[in-house]
A = this chain, B = another copy of it.
Amino acid sequence: MTAAKPLRADAQRNREALLAKAREVFDAGDFFDLRFDDFARLAGVGTGTLYRHFPTREALAEAVYHEEVATLCDRARQLQATLPAEEALATFLHGMVGYMDAHQGLARTLATLMATGSGALAEGSRALEQAVTDLVAAAVKDGAVRDDVGAGAVMMALHGIGAAHDRPGWRAEADSVITLVLDGLRRSHQSASSASGSRKARHPAADVERNSGRAR
């Protein structure tokens, strides 16, 4: 699945140069403020070369994203092998917040890309989600965590945290979200979540009708 074509020496070199510059800009958060052409200029290659290696902005982003995700997944596996399931999950999630905090530009860029719906990050995201799924599954198996809430919900929360990077008290709020998720996740009181059935929305008036009196 990895690199099927030998790729010529200079091509390899140019590709690296492009990636290096991209990562730099990516991390600085300037990814979208820059003309796509200029990546070429900055990396010291021609426009054509840039386009041959990375047909679109997203393709370039994807390549950078890949490495980051790999790092995070490794960490997840490592935690899972080292700590009790529940603790591993907690540590990983808080670690994610720390990671985003340390790489805000990157978080910003990724959030934008996701929202743009490019779909280029799909593979990487899937890998990350798998890691979270494993962590949650282990915790469920331990009986430390409820079994009626999938990892998808956790992913959504993480997504929200990443997307809101520019809020004033970001770090504190982000940690709060994780706290809420973890506390909510801990199997303890089935009774408390009385009305909040998780499957069907059987809440009174769960639907808000759009009612502004506009001529159509």
Nearest residue in B to A172 (C-beta to C-beta)?
Answer: B199
The residues of B that contact A175 with a CB separation of less than 8 Å are: 196-199, 201
- The B-contacting residues of A in range 90-122, CB under 8 angstroms, are 90-91, 94-95, 97-99, 102-103, 108, 111-112, 114-117
Contact residues, A40-84 vs B (CB, 8 A)? 67-68, 70-72, 75
Contact with B along A178-189 (1 / 0, CB 8 A): 111111111011
* Residue A214, interface by CB 8 Å: yes
Indicate which residue in B116, B160, B203 contacts A94 across the interface (CB closer than 8 Å).
Answer: B203
Given A158-B160, A183-B183, also A211-B149 (CB < 8 A): no
Nearest CB to that of A181 among chain B residues? B180
Q: Would A153 and B166 count as touching, CB distance under 8 A?
A: no
Chain A interface bracket (under 10, 10 to 19, 20 to 34, 35 or more): 35 or more
Q: Give the copy number.
A: 2
Residues on the B chain within 8 Å of A4, using CB: none
Contact A181 B179 (CB under 8 A): no
B182 engages A193 (CB within 8 Å): yes
Q: Assess the A71–B160 pair: CB atoms within 8 A.
A: no
Q: How far is the CA of A156 from the CA of B179 in the complex (A)?
A: 13
Determine whether the beta carbon of A94 is less than 8 Å from that of B178.
Answer: no
Asked if A210 is at the interface of the complex by the 8 Å CB criterion, the answer is yes
Q: Is A5 close to B, CB under 8 A?
A: no
Is there an interface contact between B182 and A153, defined as CB atoms closer than 8 Å?
no
Contact of A114 among B75, B99, B163, B171 (CB under 8 A): B163
Interface of A with B (CB < 8 Å)? 16, 20, 67-68, 70-72, 75, 87, 90-91, 94-95, 97-99, 102-103, 108, 111-112, 114-117, 148-150, 152-153, 155-161, 163-164, 166-167, 169, 171-186, 188-189, 192-193, 195-199, 201, 203-208, 210-212, 214-216
